[in-house]
C-alpha cells in the first residue's frame, strides 16, 4: 500500500461547481499536510497547509483534515477553467520526510 493515495482522475467538473479532491494516508503519526497545484509542464506550488483536524478555508479553497479516518481533502468552490491542473497531496511521515501522492488531475469545463 502506498503511503499517500490519490485517485489519479481525471476529475471533470463544470465551471462554477465544487471540485472535491481526496487523499488518504497510511502513517498515523503524520502531523503536517499540504496541497500543491501543478500545471502541466510547471513546478508544484503550495495552495494550502493544514495541521489540525477540521476545516481550513482560504478564498475558494477549503482543506479538511480527519486524522482518525486518515484522510485529507481539498474543496475548490466556484471552479474555474484556470483551476485545471494536477493537485498533489503531501504530508510529513514518521521519518520526517515529505511524501507526495501521485496527484489527481482536475479538469474544469467551461
Partner 1 sequence: DTAVSQTPKYLVTQMGNDKSIKCEQNLGHDTMYWYKQDSKKFLKIMFSYNNKELIINETVPNRFSPKSPDKAHLNLHINSLELGDSAVYFCASSQVAFGELFFGEGSRLTVL
Tell which one of 33, 62, 84, 103 touches partner 1 (CB under 8 A): 103
Instruction: Please state the closest distance from residue 88 (CB atom) to partner 1, in A.
Output: 7
Non-local (6+) Cβ contacts of 54 within 8 A are: 64, 65
Q: Is 8 left (phi over 0), alpha (psi -120 to 50) or beta?
A: alpha
Interface with partner 1 in residues 33-92 (CB under 8 A): 34, 36, 38, 42-46, 49, 86, 88, 90, 92
Instruction: Please state the closest distance from residue 16 (CB atom) to partner 1, in A.
Output: 27
Residue range at the interface with partner 1 (CB under 8 A); choices 9-17, 28-36, 55-63, 77-85:
28-36
Say if CB 103 and CB 88 are below 8 A apart: yes
Count Cβ atoms within 10 A of the Cβ of residue 87 and give its class: 0-12 exposed, 13-18 middle, 19 or more buried. Answer: buried
108 binds partner 1 (CB under 8 A): no
Instruction: Please state the closest distance from residue 95 (CB atom) to partner 1, in A.
Output: 8
- Site residues for partner 1 per CB under 8 A: 32, 34, 36, 38, 42-46, 49, 86, 88, 90, 92, 95-100, 102-103
Amino acid at each position: 500500500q502506498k503511503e499517500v493515495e490519490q485517485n489519479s482522475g481525471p476529475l471533470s467538473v463544470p465551471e462554477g461547481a465544487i471540485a472535491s479532491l481526496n487523499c488518504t494516508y497510511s502513517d498515523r503519526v503524520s502531523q503536517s499536510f499540504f496541497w500543491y497545484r501543478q500545471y502541466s509542464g510547471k513546478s508544484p506550488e503550495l495552495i494550502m497547509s493544514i495541521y489540525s483536524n477540521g476545516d481550513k478555508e482560504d478564498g475558494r479553497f477549503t482543506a479538511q483534515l480527519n486524522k482518525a479516518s486518515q484522510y485529507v481533502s481539498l474543496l475548490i468552490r466556484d471552479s474555474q477553467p484556470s483551476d485545471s491542473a494536477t493537485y498533489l497531496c503531501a504530508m510529513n511521515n514518521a521519518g520526517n520526510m515529505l511524501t507526495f501522492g501521485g496527484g489527481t488531475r482536475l479538469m474544469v469545463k467551461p
